[in-house]
Structure 1
Amino acid sequence: MFVFTLVILFIFFILYKLMLIVPMREVHVIERLGKFRAVLSPGFHFLIPFFDRVSYRHDTREQVLDVPPQSCISKDNTQLEVDGLVYLKVMDGKLASYGIENYRKAAVNLAQTTMRSEIGKLSLSETFSERDSLNESIVREIDKASEPWGIKVLRYEIRNITPSRHVIHTLEKQMEAERRKRAEITLANAEKAAMINMSEGERQEAINLSEGQKQKRINEAKGTGQEIAIIAKAKSEGMAMISQALAVNGGTDAMNMLLKEQFIAQVGKILNDAQVSVVPAEMAKLEGFFEGMEQVTQTVSGQNNSGKGAR
């Protein structure tokens, strides 16, 4: 019974060594008597017991490896601490097994050295603004070097770029100065726009005032012209009426009487308004004045009558 059990166990052991199931996400490297035989893809396979063995198992899925932080010097001699992530995939199980001892460690170390080299070509500001191009350069260089290892570097991502404390303090001052500069430029532009608007307003105000003064003077000139025309017309009509009145019988006497009354009224007004007493020295001359006025009136009347006779 014991021997039978041993035989059954031995048969199961042989079957276990004979059959191999490779999972979907892996490839297995088979060695026969210590020499490479084949790379088995996912599925069911048969092996020769005690001759074939699985030497390496590789995950064919995309792998993410953490690149530890490291100190780098930029082109402008600024010290930076940079870390990242490298994404790779096993493409050839044989090369991944025999091309290098540990492709994961080698990929991480290569990513670090390549990253130091690429950052040394850029200034501090360029490391922040050109991160995408920096990632592409690192991927390109790592992919060239890792081709004999049977792996494919898919992409590289810089996770953090941390300048030293002194550099951070300097950058903060620079950013503060830049913000202050932009604020001053904005205020200057606002003041400039305000002055322009104010000058435009004053200019428009001056134009409106000048237009108003111009229109006022035009209106006053037109009013004065109309007033002069009306007064001249009234005087002309008045003179015509006086001429007609003088041509009538008794018109001359009436004119003389009117002139005498006006003269007396004006003399009385002058005597009343004067600050000193005015006494005419030759009152007798008033009669001569009235007689002279009468002769003038007769002369004007005679001229009017001769003009009518000529007609």
Structure 2
Amino acid sequence: MFTLFVLFIFFLLYKLMLIVPMREVNVIERLGKFRAVLQPGFHFLIPFFDRVSYKHEIREQVLDVPPQSCISKDNTQLEVDGLVYLKVMDGKLASYGIENYRLAAVNLAQTTMRSEIGKLNLSQTFSERDKLNESIVREIDKASASWGIKVLRYEIKNITPSRHVIHTLEKQMEAERSKRAEITLASAEKAAMINLSEGERQEAINVSEGQKQKRINEAKGTAQEISIVAKAKAEGMQMLSTALTVNGGHDAMNMQLKEQFISQVGKILETADVSVVPAEMAKLEGFFEGMEQVTHAVSSSSAKSNTVKGARS
């Protein structure tokens, strides 16, 4: 009997005292009616009148959204799944505002995701994941405000197109890679041709500059040569005029001119293909021809006189 009494006392104490863990809140009902939401810590209850109706996790919860089929704006079938991160903010609303907030959050995430993907093209679903996640969180948070929960964020895990779409995308990517390769090759050839033309242009400029400098140098050399020759001739003429003023200068000059004349005539006679005779020689030849004609004339006159004399005798 004493044992039963002790057990009854322990049972009362168990019903009287309540320790709420740090990670959750407890919803207390008294005689079936909501009384309070007990925060973490030690609490007293009225046995047989108060009871813990709901226990809610107050830490951030992660719910897996199963894959579902979606249709994008360009009529492409996609299979999308994700994760919902939420937290219980009000234990009373989470208990009495909805039957199962976890299931409701998952279903709402699926329908919202399907609606948001229907507004985007296939390429946008891959490139604008952040905007898509923000849109889904915003829409879920509006509906879940009366459930006492707060949707912190939504993350899309996988976006999987159908096999046909994947095959089409692979062909498109292959064509895009080929296009980029051809563009790169054409750009390289263009750059090579530009570099080659620039090299040829620079080479032509260098050659023309070299030829220009060469002509300038030749002109300067010729001018310098003419200047030196003219200067030498002027000095020679000066020396010659000085020499002519002394006694015997004119005779020496005439002798030198005759020597040069004889020398030049000899060179011309050696190299010329026709007979070149000086003017004095030509006059001498004419003299001899005249003498021969006179001789012939005298001989003819003598012969005629002898013939006449014989006829007379």
> TM-score normalised by the shorter chain: which range applies?
0.7 to 0.9
How far apart, in 1, do the equivalents of 2:102 and 2:241 lie? 135
TM-score normalised per structure 2 = 0.81
Instruction: State the shift of 1:152 in Å.
Output: 1.2
Query: What pairs with 1:49-198 in structure 2 (closer than 5 Å)?
Result: 49-198=47-196
Distance (Å, rounded) in 1 between the aligned partners of 2:44 and 2:239? 151
Residue 45 of structure 1 deviates from its aligned partner by 2.4
Per the TM alignment, residue 35 of structure 1 is displaced from its structure 2 partner at its CA by 2.5
CA RMSD of aligned residues (A): 2.7
Work out the number of aligned pairs and report it.
286
Change (3 A) 1:241 1:97: closer
Amino acid at match of 1:87: Y
Please give the residue correspondences for 1:219-298 in structure 2 after superposition, counting only pairs within 5 Å.
219-275=217-273, 283=281, 285=283
Asked if 1:14 corresponds to 2:21, the answer is no
1:166: how far off?
A: 1.9
SS of the residue corresponding to residue 215 of structure 1 reads helix
How far apart in 2 are the matches of 1:159 and 1:188?
A: 40
Letter in 2 for 1:227: E
- 2:216 alignment partner in structure 1: 218
1:23 equivalent among 21, 24, 39: 21
TM-score, normalised with respect to structure 1: 0.81
Distance 1:31 1:269 in 2: 149
Cα distance, 1:95 vs structure 2: 1.6
Deviation of residue 103 (structure 1)? 1.0
* Residue of structure 1 in register with 2:309 after alignment: none
Q: Which residue of 2 aligns with 1:47?
A: 45
- Aligned-partner Cα distance in 2 for 1:253–1:24: 145
CA distance in 1, matches of 2:282, 2:276: 16
1:117 offset after TM fit, Å?
Answer: 0.6
SS in 2 for 1:77: coil
Cα offset for 1:284?
6.4
Alpha-carbon displacement from aligned partner over 1:113-142 (angstroms, at most 9, x marks no partner): 011011111111111121111111111111
C-alpha displacement of 1:186: 2.8
| Structure of greater Rg | 2
Secondary structure of 2:281's partner? coil
18 and 249 in structure 1: CA distance in 2 versus 1, 3 angstrom threshold: closer
Taking the aligned partners of 1:281 and 1:8, their CA distance within structure 2 comes to 175
Q: Give unpaired runs (5+ residues) of structure 1.
A: 289-311
Change (3 A) 1:251 1:164: same
How far apart are the structure 2 equivalents of 1:21 and 1:251? 151
What is the CA–CA distance in structure 2 between the aligned matches of 1:245 and 1:9, rounded to whole Å?
Answer: 164
Measure, in 1, the Cα distance between the counterparts of 2:212 and 2:17.
Answer: 115
Query: Cα deviation per residue 1:23-78 (whole Å; 9 max; x = unaligned)?
Result: 22222222223222222222222223223222211111111111111111111111
Distance 2:160 2:24 in 1: 38
Report the AA paired with residue 21 of structure 2: P
Q: What is the identity, as a one-letter code, of the residue corresponding to 1:232?
A: A
Q: Deviations over 1:247-288 (max 9, x none)?
A: 555444444443333333333333333456667898363699
